[in-house]
Amino acid sequence: MRSLSASQLRELVPMRDAVELMKAVFASSSSGETISPLRTPIEMPDGSGVSLYMPAFVPANAGFPAGSGAKIVSVYPDNATRDLPTINAVVIMLDPTTGVPIGIIEGGAMTALRTGAVSGAATDLLARRDASVLTVIGAGVQGVTQAAAVASVRALDKIYVIDAQAATASSFGDRLAPWDEAAAARVLIADDVALALAETDIICTATTSATPVYAHEHVRPGTHINAVGAFTPQMQEIPVETLLGARVIVDQVEAVLHEAGDFIIPIDAGMVARDSVRDELGQIVNGDIPGRTSDEEITFFKSVGNAIQDMIVGAVALERAEQREVGGVVDLG
């Protein structure tokens, strides 16, 4: 069984490659070709954290190998006070023909890479071609790869960064540099969300907020929004006005209606119709529905994440690792 570290994964699957992998895997998902049961959360009794168990299978597609296995992710917000990552994860890959374990991959980097990449795919398919100003709300690990992914598909002049923790915001450029030095040089710290959004073309939200992190009235016509935070039914980083005033696209309808408070809370309150959430990113890739329909349209993409993303990246990473003899080899006996 081959083991891959975070740095080895980034070398084997650069962000731009991961963006294309996300397009391919969600096209397969919308065609009914992947298997991904809803993730199982195990919440700690004291509310200190949650572990998410996510199995999946992805068939060989568009020249990419098949992937099978599972990811386990833990999210412990108080880890920031312990000088530990908030998100820890591991990905276990199996041979899809035999079920034999063939790989173990550091899952924090995998989560950041594929979460950024799916927003990169959505941005490439939905943002205006001339979009050049990005605002990232939530400057943690996920926020960094959101910026890296958007920068891989659009020529950015400015990247505004907003975070409740000043130190997290101030270190954003340094943490983005290993992904994209040119993009890191364009980072600006913003204190006022409304002022930043007044010149923003693309918004990425990556928070665990229970209340909206911006006001929809400040979103300019023609803006594209990626929302990858608020991954539980209790979290809500997006205002309901965005759901009512934007073209809504999701990664998987069933998953967001089951897990995303951004939808669950306003649907339960009778503010949003459940059947208004119906369009998936993979349908755009497949040509079943259109992408952006005008330069004035506001487009909104919501992702709660899915292990099919990890499986396709993991399968490609392991294939390349074998070819290049990268990573350690673990004998399970």
* pLDDT tier, 232 (very low <50, low <70, confident <90, very high otherwise): confident
| 155 and 188 part of one domain | yes
Q: Please indicate, yes or no, whether residues 170 and 71 belong to a single structural domain of this protein.
A: no
293 and 157 co-located in one domain: yes
Its pTM stands at 0.92
* In a domain? residue 120: no
Q: What is the CA radius of gyration of the chain?
A: 19
CB 299 within 8 A of CB 267: no
Residues 271 and 151 in one domain: yes
Q: Which residues touch 80 (CB under 8 Å, ≥6 apart)?
A: 86
Q: Give domain status of residue 118, yes or no.
A: no
- Residue 94 is part of a domain; what is its CATH number? 3.30.1780.10
Question: pLDDT of 99-149, one tens digit each?
Answer: 999 999 999 899 999 999 999 999 999 999 999 999 999 999 899 999 999
Residue 121, domain member (yes or no):
no
- Looking at residue 63, what is its pLDDT? 82
| 190 and 54 together in one domain | no
What digits encode the pLDDT tens for the residues 258-317? 999 999 999 999 999 999 999 999 999 999 999 999 999 999 999 998 999 999 999 999
| Number of structural domains in the chain | 2
pLDDT number for residue 39 = 83
pLDDT tens, position by position, 61-113: 878 999 999 999 898 989 989 999 888 899 999 999 999 999 999 998 999 99
What does the mean pLDDT of the chain come to? 95
pLDDT of residue 225: 98
Closest CA to 227 of 140, 163, 298, 302: 302
Mean pLDDT of 7-31: 96
Q: d(Cα 237, Cα 208) in Å, to the nearest integer?
A: 7
For residue 151, being part of any structural domain is answered with yes
- Distant-in-sequence, close-in-space partners of 83: CB < 8 Å, separation ≥ 6: none
CATH number, position 161: 3.40.50.720
Residue 77 belongs to some domain of the structure? yes
Are 145 and 185 members of one domain? Answer: yes
Indicate if 314 and 297 belong to the same structural domain.
no
Judged by average pLDDT, the poorest of 40-44, 151-155, 159-163, 240-244 is 40-44
Q: Report d(CA 230, CA 240) in Å as an integer.
A: 13
Q: Is the domain of 35 the same as that of 144?
A: no
Phi-psi region of 2 (alpha: psi -120 to 50; beta: other; left: phi over 0): beta
Is residue 100 in some structural domain? yes
* 250 and 140 in a common domain: yes
- Mark whether 277 and 314 lie in a shared domain: no
Domain identity same for 148 and 256: yes
Print the domain residue range for 201. Answer: 128-302
Residue 119 lies in a domain: no
Angle between helices 15-30 and 307-324 (to 10 degrees): 130
Same structural domain, 171 and 36: no
116 falls within a domain: no
